[in-house]
Amino acid sequence: MSLQDYPVTVREEAARLRELVCRLHAELPRWELVVWTAGNVSQRLRSADLFVIKPSGVGYHELTPEAMVVCDLEGRLVDGDRAPSSDTAAHAYVYAHLPDVGGVVHTHSTYATAWAARGEEIPCVLTMMADEFGGPVPVGPFALIGDDSIGRGIVQTLAGSRSPAVLMRSHGPFTVGVDARAAVKAAVMVEEVARTVHVARQLGEVTPLEQGDVDALHARYQNVYGQVASDPATPSRTTEEPA
């Protein structure tokens, strides 16, 4: 089934998300989270079981909205002139099994990937971590690219965690969010805490925060911090526009 077989509302949303996902890809090199053509951002459509993702092997300076591809939740190409990202199967599996997730990001950011190479979770020793991740950043199992094995590892690992980030062993971080912008933010934040905790450990032993403090900080950040929408039906901390 091609995108032209879907209703006009679906095609219009896909066009909007192509522009959004293209703009959000520019955030990855801006925050030094990727090199060359590595990494990818995707966002799920609200109007159909489809998502928009970067094509495989295309440089960030070459990306345009038209270059973005649309896939279904089996990872099959629905619209686009190029092959989808090599991580498409992982994104598709996450969307198929975590219905609250609307955006997925994968990077090879240096410090987060170093923790993944060690197969070690990032301990929750910072209030910023409690706020954003609700505890440690967990490590997922090793899996090869090419099928949905990485996606399975992401879903299994995040099922027992409040974290929007997982460090896939010997691979790198994957982050999720209610939309792609939220997942990009989580990718930026996981690299920041990975770097900070690494530096702190060079100075000596670090002590994890007490669980009660983590819970209180996380609840405040998720429910109180930031601007509250005037319309109760409007999400207060998400938007389809990059900051």
Give catalytic residue positions: 106, 108, 131, 171, 225
Phi then psi for 187, rounded to 5 degrees?
-65, -40
What is d(CA 202, CA 208) in angstroms, rounded to the nearest whole number?
16
Rg of the chain taking only CA atoms, in angstroms:
18
Report the DSSP beta bridge partners of residue 103.
43, 177
Strand order in the sheet with 103-106: 77-79, 69-72, 50-53, 40-44, 103-106, 172-177, 165-168, 139-140
Query: What is the Cβ-side half-sphere exposure of residue 154, based on CA atoms within 13 angstroms?
Result: 30
The three-state (H, E, C) secondary structure of 133-194, written as one string: HCCCECEECCCCECECHHHHHHHHHHCCCCCCEEEECCCEEEEEECCHHHHHHHHHHHHHHH
Contact between 132 and 140 (Cβ < 8 Å): no
Cβ atoms 79, 47 nearer than 8 A: no
Q: Backbone dihedral region of 54: left (phi > 0), alpha (psi from -120 to 50 degrees) or beta?
A: beta
